[in-house]
Amino acid sequence: MNPSSEITTVLGRGSRFEGKLTFEGTVQIDGRFSGEIQTEGTLIIGDSAEVQANIVAATVVVKGKLQGDVAASESLTIQAPARVTGNLSTPNLTIETGSFFEGHCKMSGDEAPAASAPQE
């Protein structure tokens, strides 16, 4: 499944949500959310967002604050000025300079990234 580049829903700045969020497509959170998030789509945590949740998604992009465990089946990107605290599981991980990550990471997949292949 390819993530949609079009954001279908935005939980805006100043909003507060608590509970379980499930959706299709792409959702961006710019407010506060606590609970659980499950989707086969894309979750974007905006730079003004504060999220405390365990997340299961295909693709996750974090620009804001996230506390919780993330299982991303396709990819996980942490972009500056993100602050992520929790355990990550994904086959493709990108952490930009200027962002913060504290926790454990498990990368699974059939192929090892080319950068980690031994050079002779």
What is the band of 10 on the pLDDT scale with cuts at 50, 70, 90? confident
Q: Residues 87-105: pLDDT tens digits? A: 999 999 999 999 999 999 9
Instruction: Answer yes or no: is pLDDT of 8 > 90.
Output: no
CA dihedral for 44, 50, 53, 54, sign (positive or negative): positive
Looking at residue 11, its pLDDT comes to 72
What is the band of 2 on the pLDDT scale with cuts at 50, 70, 90? very low
| Mean pLDDT computed over 113-117 | 39
Residue that the structure tokens 């493709």 belong to: 92
Contact 10, 26 (CB under 8 A): no
Q: Residues 26-85: pLDDT tens digits? A: 999 999 999 999 999 999 999 999 999 999 999 999 999 999 999 999 999 999 999 999
What is the Cα–Cα distance from 14 to 49, expressed in whole angstroms? 9
Looking at residue 16, its pLDDT comes to 86
Looking at residue 60, its pLDDT comes to 97
What is the Cα–Cα distance from 88 to 69, expressed in whole angstroms? 6
DSSP 114: G
Looking at residue 117, its pLDDT comes to 40
